[in-house]
Amino acid sequence: MAVLLGLVLIAGVIAWVGAAQLEKNNRASQEAQGGEHSAAVLSEGVLYKARSGDPGVVVAQDVGSGKELWRAELGSVTSKPVLLVGEELIEVQIAGTPWMTLERSTGEPVE
């Protein structure tokens, strides 16, 4: 029993170290890409991702197939976006600017 507990503890430590290394690599990659920032929300089998950059984008991706459903460009974005997914709309905000509203099913801007 003690051996099993020891193995479980070792596996947990290995998983923790691996996760820490992945996070470190992710941050290094973001810095290498000019400090690119992102936000993501998973809802009803669709992953919505907002990414800073020139241009900044919001992408909807089907989780099951990996297929990109739509992509909306935001213009030049240098700070971390905020992403909210509602029933029919997606709200995106960048660095204190007014919220941008997109149709959830198409990514088209809503006036």
Q: Is the pTM of this model over 0.75?
A: no
Cβ atoms within 10 Å, residue 40 = 13
Query: Is residue 55 reached through a cis peptide bond, with omega within 30 degrees of 0 on the bond before it?
Result: yes
Q: Phi first, then psi: what are they for 96, rounded to 5°?
A: 80, 5
Could you say which DSSP state residue 96 is in? Answer: T
User: What radius of gyration do the chain's Cα atoms show?
Assistant: 18
Tens digit of each residue's pLDDT, the chain (111 residues): 778 777 878 877 787 766 566 566 655 555 555 556 788 889 899 999 988 777 778 899 999 999 999 998 877 766 778 888 888 988 887 765 678 889 999 989 897
Q: Where are the domains of the chain?
A: 1-35, 36-111
Architecture category of domain 36-111 in CATH? Beta Barrel (2.40)
Does an H or E element contain 88, and which?
none
